[in-house]
A and B are shown apart, each in its own frame.
Chain A
Amino acid sequence: MRRNFLKLCSLAGLGVAVPRTLRAADKETPPYEGPYYVVFNASGGWDTTYLMDPKGINEINRLYKEGDILTHGAHKFAPTGKTKDGGMSNEDFYAEFGTELLVVNGLDYSVNNHSPGARYMATGKLDSLAYPTFAALVAACKGPQYPLAYLTFGNYSNTGNLVAMSRVPYLPSLKKVALADHVEGNERSPYHEGFVMDRIEQALARQHQAADSQPRLPRLERAENMLYAAQVSSKALQRVVPHIPASSPKERMSQQAEIALASFKAGVCVSANLTIGQFDSHANNDRDQMKLIPEFLAGIAYFIRRAEELKIREKLVVIIQSEMGRTPDYNKGNGKDHWSIGSALFLGPGIKGNRVIGATDEKQMCKTISAQNLALDEKGIRMRPEHIHEALRQLAGIDQHALAKKFPLGVKPGELLKGLWG
């Protein structure tokens, strides 16, 4: 029955939450060793011309001119050192990470609305509500058995029923649940003596096996598997405790970073969605973007530096994105409205940095590229989220995984971005 279920799950697109290794409740899952996938999301739509796709012409930007544009290796970026309101300037960000950074410009989001844009960028699929985010998919393929396999702090987070999502709003929350079998999380005060707890776990394992041998509705079967997996895997949460810092940073993205990093370091998490909002600068675009982009970059830098301290930086795959860009002109309220062309940034193992792929023209329109050599090509393709996601799946080595195949992105063979990662 169980074998049939697994087989049929893969056929029917159902999530498989309980790997066979979990069936023996007394076996602790070894820590997940990476790579760790982290998606940084600028929710609301960032102004790419104030970061990695600078223009300074045609009144696209009021804070600098074309001649002010800065470079770092292959990168061109907008100057923000003098105009930023807190946070980290582009100058400092590129100086620190430019050699590792891959920039994709001229990305065609295809739509102008937050909801579909966020869904499209998160999943690579515009016209479906069923698809998992990349972060969820990679967690499901690489480690659904981990208690915080897929962490999310907001933004579009659909799981495709492949893996449970975890929301951990505050650092202290992690402490609260890490020692679940002890009174008030006090290691010296177990609720049950050890032999009783062992008996309970064994009884639950037997009960799970008995249920497994009975015919059940698919939905019930999946629920039982996910419940059992959640309870068994939760024991591994105690590994997080040593990595929880004594105090919480104040910045909103840094707080998310500490929760994700503690979970990565403890080997209980595969992927995390980090997000900050309010980028939707319909009024006073420059004021808002000059506050938010630096805050966003500072949060990313904080994350990477802390990963360095924790000695997991070399295992971090970083994706930096937003669901849309901003128009090339200002509205009457000094704001910028939604624009369907944008950019994304990547760095991490397997990604060759100091490169820029794709471009926009002087009116911030998308330029097409050759999928074969990634050079600008008038007869080429419009680079869209599904192209990026197909490449991400390849980078993660999950493009041939049964779960990934259940959610095809429909990229034609000739449109696969060859050598995107270098």
Chain B
Amino acid sequence: MKRTASLLPALVLLSTAPVSGRDLFFDEQVWPKVGAQSCLKCHKAGGDAEDSKFVLNDPARDKTTGRHVSQIHNEAAFARMAKSMKDGESRLLLKATGKLDHEGEEVLKPDSAAYRLLADFVKQVTAPAKEPQVATKTNERPFFADVVMLDDPHVIRRASLSLAGRLPTQDELKRDVKMHLAALMKEDAFYQRLREGFNDIFLTLGADGNADQTFLSYDHFPQRHWYQKWEFADIAEEKDRKQAGYKMAREYREALHGEPLKLIEHVVRNDRPFTEIITADHIMATPYTARGYGIFEEIKGQFKDTNDPFEYIPVRLHALKGRSKQQDQESGTGFYPHAGLLSTFQWLCRYPTTETNRNRLRARMYYQHFLGVDVLELAARVTDAAAVTAKYKVPTMEASECVVCHKTLDPVASLFQDYWRFADQGVYGKRKDGWFTDMFQAGFEGEDMPGEERWRSLQWLGERTAKDPRFAVAMVEHAWYILTGRKTLLPPKDLEDPLHDAKRRSYTEQRRIIEETAARFIKNGFNFKHVIQDLATSDFYRADGIASAIADEKRLAELDDIGIARMLSPEQLERKIAAVFGRPWGRLKNTDGGLAMLYGGIDSKEVTERATDPSGAMGAIMRTMSNDIACKNTALDFTRPAAERLFFGQVEPDTLPGTVESDARIKSTIAHLHERVLGRSDAVDSDEVSRTHALFTGILTDAAMSRREPQESYYCRPDPERTPIPDPHYTIRAWRGVMTYLLRRLEFLYE
């Protein structure tokens, strides 16, 4: 069933691994622990210290294999600064501790581990007589040593449930995993999961207000309320027409909300380069939303069914025409300058701006969504932020503490300058008083946007984003989130932590798979399906256990994030119930008093992070679900012909323990239940099956001790009339108890 990872020593193939013959100490110690954390933020192109003599290259933007160029450049820069002396002391150390003129003041404490590392580096480069440390790591224990991996059939089951919400067929279980994944990614259910996963990231479904009011401005879309004039001539009753009108409005708004996620689906489904999510020169529109945009008559011939609110096709909007000339959109082509998601009304409305925010929220979300950079993630402490704010007229352009982020953020914020409408006023529009002059002007990472590009500023940004190596990495990280339910690891910061090296290895190993996958993603023309295939066949996705107990705390820290062990979201649990039982539960919804929010779901507005661990309230929902699903399905299954049953094809209500033959059938049924419900391949004589068997027989023993109703509970009768289901031996109810037990197990509730 499972295989153990190879114990052979692994060759180090890190994409960020040191170049052969170069100094391992710099690459593995000085750079990640000091340079990347403490220097790079300012000392890079576009950074606050870009005019200094100590300018580093950001490896995340280095397209060369193994990031050689940036690593060589950075080591040389460090070495030069280390060798440069002032009164007998290295400038590198003096600057880092704020003893020489240094805008960043003290970035390292003299008694810190980071300082000691830097001091060691200075010693090494200033007394370079001995050989540099170029030790290989071939003797290092493989990262996945002793980790038990899922075999192919179980990976296929896991991926089928996760990505397509269904169980694999017996034939599919024998397939090559990648081939099976490729087949799964043709199914509609995969695209539902894909949209759901990307909404967890982009949260565009959480854009406020009625979509037709919020996304489509009064100024530019006079037909946005087209549904209010729909006559429903074929409906006789007034109240029925009213209901039909409500339904039409609801579906229209739902279709509008769905457009950005459908764009992602369109790109993936058609094997388009995934860069199109920020470069596509179109949106996705349906017959309903096209009416709102005022282009229905023009494009209606392209729809298969003009009454289908959810038939999406790619569409280019014309440049926006306002009610007055000043509201007209400038365009070099006559069309709206689409830039994938970036220019969609939904994304822009989900991250609105204000007079004081100046599009900085949008810039921040742009960095987070498309380059994987959380600008505010680890904000630098300022000695006295209030004093800095008060001291400068424009702190964001003058105070180094502020400039460090704003020099990156504000040019991107300025690229959104023509999308200057506030809540409920649509999206497009120029600021009445002209764009702000007291902030960094439109550009990207040190490159100014030429004035003639302003009408297509988001396209200009999208083109640069697509070429930025961070885009590919960020998209692989999104795929990782969709597959595992958690974000990728951040580098450990605390150099004094005794487990730092172990945590660093865990981070580095994960980073390696992310970056290797990103490199292949670029090479494969940004085909997102390949990313899913790569990650789902990696050891990270297969890891499922350990061969023997681990006592070493460092090894435990290394493996801390290994294994999926992901609690299913409300949506995933509903799909899994449907896959195993043939129909969903239906109570884990966000609407109509559903339990989704209580079960850790999100509303994409206020609650945007899914719960990852179950609370007691969620434990209660698990109990209700297990009771209810067992109730609805056990007796029902026995009413089917044996050959058509999903669960109890080998037993009947009168199959009682006590004979060799009946015991064999009962145990075989239990093994089948384990396989279908839990995904476990347990032998009939296994401890697992014995425990479930003991539950079944224990219930029957207890039941026999006093007089019981000879029929299944009223609530668990399957037909609407509640026709009694005879259960003279209590076996149906005992099997229901077994089913409840299985539905409360981790193997069912988790991935």
Residues of A bordering B, CB below 8 Å: 1, 4, 8, 11-12, 14-15, 17, 108-113, 115-116, 126-129, 146-150, 154, 159, 161, 164-169, 172-174, 176-178, 180-181, 183, 189, 191-193, 195-196, 199-200, 203-204, 206-207, 210, 215-220, 222-224, 226-227, 229-234, 236-237, 268, 282-283, 327, 331, 333, 335, 337, 339-341, 363-366, 382
Are A230 and B614 in touch, CB under 8 angstroms? yes
User: In the complex, what residues of A have CB within 8 A of residue B545's CB?
Assistant: 215-217, 220
Max chain B Cβ within 10 angstroms of own Cβ: one of A174, A177, A282: A177
- Would you give the 0/1 interface string for B346-385, flagging 1 where the beta carbon is closer than 8 Å to chain A? 0000000011110000000000000000001111111011
30 residue pairs of the A-B complex, CB under 8 angstroms, read A12-B557, A108-B385, A111-B381, A113-B376, A147-B615, A149-B616, A164-B613, A166-B617, A167-B598, A177-B595, A177-B598, A177-B617, A181-B624, A191-B740, A192-B733, A196-B699, A200-B737, A200-B744, A203-B692, A210-B691, A217-B147, A217-B544, A217-B565, A226-B613, A227-B750, A231-B622, A268-B616, A282-B355, A365-B384, A366-B384
Q: Which of A116, A192, A218, A333 contacts B736 (CB 8 A)?
A: A192
Measured between beta carbons, the chain A residues less than 8 angstroms from B600 are 167
Which A-chain residue is minimally distant from B687 (CB atoms)?
A: A210
Which 10 interchain pairs have the tightest Cβ spacing?
A147-B616, A230-B619, A234-B619, A340-B385, A166-B615, A230-B614, A116-B379, A234-B620, A191-B627, A180-B623
Chain A CB within 8 A of B390 CB = yes
Is B550's beta carbon under 8 Å from chain A?
yes
**Residue B551, interface by CB 8 Å:** yes
Of residues 544 through 565 on chain B, the ones whose CB sits less than 8 Å from some CB of chain A are: 544-551, 553, 556-557, 559-563, 565
Give min CB distance, B71 to chain A, whole Å: 26
* One of A113, A183, A364 near B379 (C-beta < 8 A): A113
Q: How far is the CA of A216 from the CA of B148 in the complex (A)?
A: 9
| Docked CA distance A237–B614 (Å) | 14
Look across to chain A and name the residue whose beta carbon is closest to the beta carbon of B733: A196
Tell me if B607 is interfacial: C-beta within 8 Å of chain A. Answer: yes
Question: A residues within 8 A CB of B749?
Answer: 227
B698 interface contact, C-beta 8 A:
yes
* Complex CA distance for A236 and B620, rounded to whole angstroms: 10
Q: Are B617 and A189 in contact (CB under 8 A)?
A: no
Residues of chain B within 8 A (CB-CB) of A176 are 593, 595, 598
> Would you call B617 and A207 a contact (CB within 8 A)?
no
Closest to B497 in A: A13
User: Is the CB–CB distance between B618 and A282 below 8 Å?
Assistant: no
- B19, chain A: closest CB distance, angstroms: 31
| Contact yes or no, A169 B597, CB < 8 A | yes
For A114, the closest partner residue in chain B by CB is: B376
Contacts of A168 in B (CB 8 A): 598, 617
B126-167 contact mask (Cβ, 8 Å, vs A): 1 or 0: 000000000000000000000100000000000000000000
Residues of A contacting B617 with CB < 8 Å? Answer: 147-148, 166, 168, 173-174, 177, 234, 237
Contact check: which of B385, B544, B744 meets A111 at CB < 8 Å?
B385
Q: Collect the chain B residues with CB atoms within 8 Å of residue A236's CB.
A: 616
Residues of B near A340 (CB, < 8 A) are 382, 385-386, 389
Q: Which residues of B contact A178 (CB under 8 A)?
A: 620
A164→B698 contact, CB < 8 A: no
B745 within 8 A of A: yes
- How many Å lie between the Cα of A41 and that of B614 in the bound state? 24
Q: Which of B695-751 contact A (CB under 8 A)?
A: 695, 698-699, 702-703, 708, 713, 715-716, 733-734, 736-737, 740-741, 744-746, 749-750
Cβ of B290 within 8 Å of any chain A Cβ, yes or no, is no
Q: Quick one: closest A residue to B740, CB to CB? A: A200
Chain B residues lying within 8 Å of A193, measured Cβ to Cβ, are 708, 733
CA gap between A112 and B387 in the complex, in Å: 12
A173 with B598: CB separation less than 8 A: yes
**Residue pair A172, B623 in contact (C-beta under 8 Å):** no
Give chain B nearest CB distance to A414 CB in angstroms. Answer: 16
Cα separation A164 to B567 with both chains bound (whole Å): 12
Please, what's the 1-or-0 string for B608-635, where 1 marks a CB less than 8 Å from any CB in chain A?
0001011111111111100110110000
Closest CB in chain B relative to A305 CB, distance in Å: 26
Q: Indicate if the CB atoms of B618 and A230 lie closer than 8 Å.
A: yes
A415 CA / B543 CA spacing, docked (Å): 46
B binding-site residues for A, Cβ under 8 Å: 147, 354-357, 376-382, 384-387, 389-390, 490, 493, 499, 543-551, 553, 556-557, 559-563, 565, 567, 593, 595, 597-598, 600, 606-607, 611, 613-624, 627-628, 630-631, 687, 691-692, 694-695, 698-699, 702-703, 708, 713, 715-716, 733-734, 736-737, 740-741, 744-746, 749-750
B626 to chain A: closest CB distance in Å? 9
**A199 close to B622 (CB less than 8 A):** no
A12 touches B560 (CB 8 A): yes
Known contacts A172-B593, A282-B355, A219 near B562 by CB under 8 Å: yes
Taking each of B390, B544, B733, B749, which has the highest tally of chain A beta carbons within 10 Å of its own beta carbon? Answer: B390
Q: Which residues of chain A have C-beta atoms less than 8 A from B384's C-beta?
A: 108, 365-366, 382
The answer to whether B549 touches A1 (Cβ under 8 A) is yes
Bound: A268/B687 CA distance, A:
35
CB-based contact B615/A116 at 8 Å:
no
Whether the pair A167, B560 counts as a contact (CB closer than 8 A) is no
Is the Cβ of A223 less than 8 Å from the Cβ of B598?
A: no
Residues of A within 8 A of B381 (CB): 110-111, 126-127
Once the chains bind, are B616 and A203 in contact (CB under 8 Å)?
no
B560 engages A237 (CB within 8 Å): no
CB-CB under 8 A from A129, the residues of chain B are 377-378, 490
With A8-B556, A195-B699, A206-B691 known as contacts, the answer to whether A166 contacts B549 (CB < 8 A) is no
Give bound CA distance, A126 to B389, whole Å. Answer: 19
CA distance A335 to B567 in the complex (A): 44
Would B551 and A4 count as touching, CB distance under 8 A? yes
Cross-chain contact A283 with B619 (CB below 8 angstroms): no
Min Cβ gap B158→A in Å is 14
Closest chain B CB from A20 CB (angstroms): 18
A205 CB to closest chain B CB, in angstroms? 11
A194, B386: Cα distance in complex, Å: 64
- In the complex, chain A residues whose CB is within 8 Å of the CB of B567: 223, 227
Instruction: State the Cβ distance, B384 to closest chain A Cβ, in Å.
Output: 7
Residues of B within 8 A of A233 (CB): 616, 619
Q: Which residue of B lies closest to A4 (CB)?
A: B551
Q: Are B746 and A216 touching (Cβ within 8 A)?
A: no
Please tell me if the beta carbons of A234 and B565 are within 8 angstroms of each other in the complex: no
Which residue in B387, B544, B547, B620 is a CB contact (below 8 Å) of A177? B620
Interface-centre pick from B499, B597, B627, B631 (highest chain A CB count, 10 A) = B627
User: Contact between B699 and A180 (Cβ–Cβ < 8 Å)?
Assistant: no
Known A167-B600, A200-B695, A365-B387; judge A232-B376 contact (CB<8 A): no
A133 to B563, CA, bound (A): 26
In the bound complex, what is the Cα–Cα distance between A365 and B745 (angstroms)? Answer: 56
Q: How far is the CA of A150 from the CA of B616 in the complex (A)?
A: 10
Q: Is the CB of A161 within 8 A of B613?
A: yes
Which of chain A's residues has its CB closest to B498's CB?
Answer: A11
Query: A12–B703 Cα gap in the complex (Å)?
Result: 47
CA distance A113 to B374 in the complex (A): 13
Min C-beta distance of B162 to chain A, whole Å: 16
**By the criterion CB–CB under 8 Å, are A218 and B614 in contact?**
no
**Of the candidates B385, B695, B698, which one forms a contact with A110 in the assembled complex, judged by CB atoms under 8 Å apart?**
B385
Does A219 contact B560, Cβ atoms closer than 8 Å? yes
Cβ of A230 to closest chain B Cβ, rounded Å: 3
Given A215-B545, A218-B556, A219-B562, the answer on whether A333 and B356 have CB atoms closer than 8 Å is yes
Complex formed: what's the CA distance from A179 to B626 in Å? Answer: 13
Q: Are A165 and B382 in contact (CB under 8 A)?
A: no
How far in angstroms is the closest Cβ of chain A from B356?
4
Chain A residues positioned under 8 Å from B593 (CB to CB): 172, 176
Q: Within 8 Å CB of A341, what residues of B?
A: 386
Given the known interface contacts A127-B379, A165-B615, A215-B548, the answer about A112 and B620 at a Cβ–Cβ threshold of 8 Å is no
Bound CA span A237–B377, Å:
36
User: How far, in angstroms, from A231 to B613 measured CA to CA in the complex?
Assistant: 12
CB contacts (< 8 Å) of A203 on chain B: these are 691-692, 694-695, 698, 741
B716: chain A residues at CB < 8 Å are 191
